Structure 1
Amino acid sequence: MLATLNTRLWFFLGFLGCCSLLGFGAFLQFVEELEPCPLCISQRLAIMATGLLFLTAAIHNRGVKIYALIGAALALVGAGISARHVWLQHLPPDQVPECSPGLEYVFQNFPLADTIKLMLTGTGECSQIEGIFLGLTIPGWTLIAFLLLATFSLGAIWLNSASKTQP
């Protein structure tokens, strides 16, 4: 099995995993009509960045260790955003930040730095829980997905070294 699984395929599978996560997010938004909050959008951007890095690594097929470390770092940034989202959802109601105007309004009327800060810190709408599956909210599952993506990315280093030691 290891002989047929090379790092190019490994990274491409990671890219497909990220595409699946983004597809599920689109399903929740457009079919289930769940409106994404600023932190949800930030998490999607982190998934997209991780996926694009995986695709680049699969195409380039060089510098496995560097791509794996950068992929893990991107996934851990996304995990940090997800962890903040989970934390906001568990705050007592009197400690939840106020809701902000919609992102479209913010993009049109606020400086880019303020918009990015809003997207990364979250607001009151980020504390709303839209659904729970097996005891976890969507941001909780996204946190797990990011941790798995980071582990998966680092697995490319192991796969690369294991394939070099095989006859």
Structure 2
Amino acid sequence: MVIASLLAHPRRVFGAIALICAAMLAFGILYLQNVVGLEPCPMCIVQRYALIIVGVFCALAAFSKGPGGWRLWGLLAVAMSAFGAFTAARQSWLQWNPPAFATCGRDLYGMIESFPLQRAIPMIFKGGGDCTAVDWTFLGGSIANWSFVWFVIFALVILAVLLRGGRAAVRG
């Protein structure tokens, strides 16, 4: 009943997801990075950018007047959520199965500046020693594990809104 009521107002759902993304970014940057002192690895930075883009797409969907606008931004947010989930899943896999010889390697910006993009992107997903480290956990899950969970939640909620259709889109 509550879920059906929320899904009847897609713009509110998109606004809520945008706010959750902003809160997650604030927690990651303001607390984990600046207070705890954790430095993000290349895969963490890619996930951070994916989260920013999901939040921006959801904010644009929330401010769209017609159903065509929020559907377009919603589809783009689902695609970016899937990319973020893939990146987080890959990092989680690296954390559970670290390579035999883990080296820290370059940071994300160093890779992009030093190598052509077609070479830098596979290097990011190959991971380095810092991508396999679990420096912080919550309820047994690493940052990558929780990122994966939230990206999947975002994708599923947005898909539910999109599949629900525009029955109440005018009211949303």
Q: TM-score, normalised by structure 2?
A: 0.81
State the 1:117 CA deviation.
3.6
State the 1:108 CA deviation.
4.1
Contact 2:105 2:128 in 1 (8 A): yes
Would you say 1:30 and 2:52 are equivalent positions? no
User: Structure 1 residues 65 and 102 mapped into 2: Cα distance closer, same or farther (>3 Å)?
Assistant: closer
Worse-superposed segment, 108-117 or 44-53: 108-117
State the 1:121 CA deviation.
3.7
Q: 2:50 aligns with which of 32, 46, 49?
A: 46
Question: After superposition, where does 1:56-67 map in structure 2 within 5 Å?
Answer: 56-62=60-66, 63=68, 64-67=70-73
User: 1:163 aligns to what SS in structure 2?
Assistant: coil
Aligned amino acid, residue 89 of structure 2: A
List structure 1 runs of 4+ shifted beyond 3 angstroms: 102-121, 158-162
Question: After superposition, where does 1:70-149 map in structure 2 within 5 Å?
Answer: 70-92=76-98, 94=100, 97-149=102-154
Residues 92-123 of structure 1, C-alpha deviations (whole Å, 9 max, x = no match): 451x5532123454344333444444334422
Percent of aligned pairs with the same residue?
32
In structure 1, list runs of 5 or more residues that go unmatched: none
In structure 2, list runs of 5 or more residues that go unmatched: none
Q: 1:11 aligns with which of 10, 14, 18?
A: 14
User: Structure 1 residues 41 and 68 mapped into 2: Cα distance closer, same or farther (>3 Å)?
Assistant: same
Aligned amino acid, residue 91 of structure 1: N
Q: TM-score, normalised by structure 1?
A: 0.84
Aligned pair count?
164
User: Structure 1 residues 68 and 105 mapped into 2: Cα distance closer, same or farther (>3 Å)?
Assistant: closer
Distance, in Å, in 2 between the alignment partners of 1:122 and 1:93 is 9
User: Structure 1 residues 61 and 11 mapped into 2: Cα distance closer, same or farther (>3 Å)?
Assistant: farther
State the 1:136 CA deviation.
1.0
Would you say 1:21 and 2:24 are equivalent positions? yes
